[in-house]
Amino acid sequence: MRTFVLLGLVCLAAPAFAAGESKVAVNVPAVNVAPPSAAARALLEPKLKIRDAPPGTAPRVALTFDACMGQADSRILSTLVYERIPATLFVTARWLRNNEEAIAILRAHPDLFDIENHGENHVPAVDVPVKIYGIPAAGSIAAVEREVAAGAAAVKAAGFSQPRWFRGATAKYDVSAIRQIRQMGYKIAGYSLNGDGGSLLGAAMTERKISGAKDGDVVIAHINQPTHEAGAGVVRGIMALKHKGIAFVRLSEVDGVGDAGTTQ
Ligand SMILES: [Zn+2]
């Protein structure tokens, strides 16, 4: 029964996806063509990988954590510090306002943590008015610019370096927003392995996903949900990778290669 339902969903989804793709691929002049409606605008969820480790060296994985809003997950943060595991954190202005204690820990370990831009208010960086997972997108070019610029300003005001990477809320974008954010000077951080399913997975599933990371993977997980089970799985997954001999790297240390024009 379950298989049957799943197959039905796949069949329903496939034509819709193909139709959305073709809108991006067809390169018609903007003049004389009506702009795509908000509903028809294709959203991309870009991938990011890091280059393979040089021969004879340990496999490399980049751990990235989003701090969207709310609190800090001290289970994860203290593990990273205690085990000396480097990571890249994407933080919003909203999260920075409420987590002074965690920020002090991040500031005290510049050798471990890169702090990058997750936007000002955690609104998706999409320049048409759509909702993604129920979250209203920025909705205009000006609002995308504000989300990115004010997010970066908050990172700097908190005492960290000028961000080089941006990851928008929900990690989805439209093509024009990707171009705009690149023109503002940022690379866009996709990912290759979704570690915690938006912090909604159980601990065992999260552990299994993260511990399966391979050389070149960019893992995304959340560090702002201290009450969710997923965080316990994040810790166990990271420790499993460490015991396998994985070398952890930050995005500033390696070549990140993204698709859809997000890094090149
Ligand atoms: Zn987020």
**C-alpha 7 – ligand 1 centre gap (Å):** 30
Interatomic CA distance for residues 168 and 124, integer angstroms: 6
Q: What percent of the chain has pLDDT over 90?
A: 83
Q: Distances from the Cα of 29 to the Cαs of 18, 70, 105, 128, 176, in angstroms?
A: 21, 44, 51, 19, 14
Write down the pLDDT at residue 264.
Answer: 87
Helix 141-157 / helix 175-183 crossing angle, nearest 10 deg = 40
- What SS3 state is found at 130? coil
pLDDT at 106 (0 to 100) = 98
- CA 213 to ligand 1 centroid distance, Å: 21
**Average pLDDT for 45-69:** 97
25 CA distance to ligand 1 middle (Å): 28
199 touches 43 (CB < 8 A)? no
Asked if the model's pLDDT at residue 240 lies above 80, the reply is yes
- Tally of domains within the chain: 1
* Ligand 1 mean position, distance from CA 110 (Å): 22
Taking the centre of ligand 1 as the mean of its atom positions, its distance from the CA of residue 34, in whole angstroms, is 32
Q: At 180, which amino acid appears? A: Q
pTM of the model: 0.85
Q: Could you write out the DSSP letters of every residue in 155-212?
A: HHHTTPPPP-EE--GGG-B-HHHHHHHHHTT-EE--BSEESSTTTTS-HHHHHHHHHT
Distance from residue 57's CA to the centre of ligand 1 (Å): 33
Residue 199 Cα, ligand 1 centroid: separation in angstroms?
10
| pLDDT for position 161 | 97
Residue 246 belongs to a domain: yes
Taking the C-alpha atoms of residue 256 and residue 216, their distance in angstroms, rounded to an integer, is 9
Cα 166 to Cα 3, 47, 98, 154, 172: the distances in Å are: 38, 13, 21, 13, 12
- Domain-embedded: residue 264: no
Q: 54 C-alpha to center of ligand 1: Å?
A: 32
**222 C-alpha to center of ligand 1: Å?**
8
Closest CA to 114 of 184, 167, 180: 167
In a domain, 175, yes or no: yes
Average pLDDT over residues 177-191: 98
Task: Residue 215: give the domain boundaries.
Answer: 45-258
Residue 28 pLDDT > 80, yes or no? no
Domain-embedded: residue 95: yes
Spacing, Cα 66 to ligand 1 middle (Å) = 5
What's the mean pLDDT in 5-15?
34
Model pLDDT, residue 36:
53
Mean pLDDT of the chain: 88
As a whole number of angstroms, the distance between CA 179 and CA 72 comes to 31
- Residue 5 CA to ligand 1 center (angstroms) comes to 30
Q: What is the pLDDT of residue 23?
A: 37
Confidence at 37, pLDDT banded by 50, 70, 90 = low
Distance in Å, CA 45 to ligand 1 centroid: 13
Q: Tell me the CA–centroid distance for residue 190 and ligand 1, in Å.
A: 12
Cα separation, 45 vs 105, in Å, equals 31
Cα 88 to middle of ligand 1, angstroms: 14
Identify the three-state secondary structure at position 22.
Answer: helix
Q: Find the helix or strand (DSSP H, E) in which 247 lies.
A: strand 247-249
In CATH, what number is assigned to the domain containing residue 120?
3.20.20.370
Q: Is 1 among the domain residues?
A: no
Backbone angles phi, psi at 42, to 5 degrees: -75, 135
Q: Answer whether residue 28 is part of any domain.
A: no
Whether residue 25 lies inside any domain: the answer is no
Residue 37 lies in a domain: no
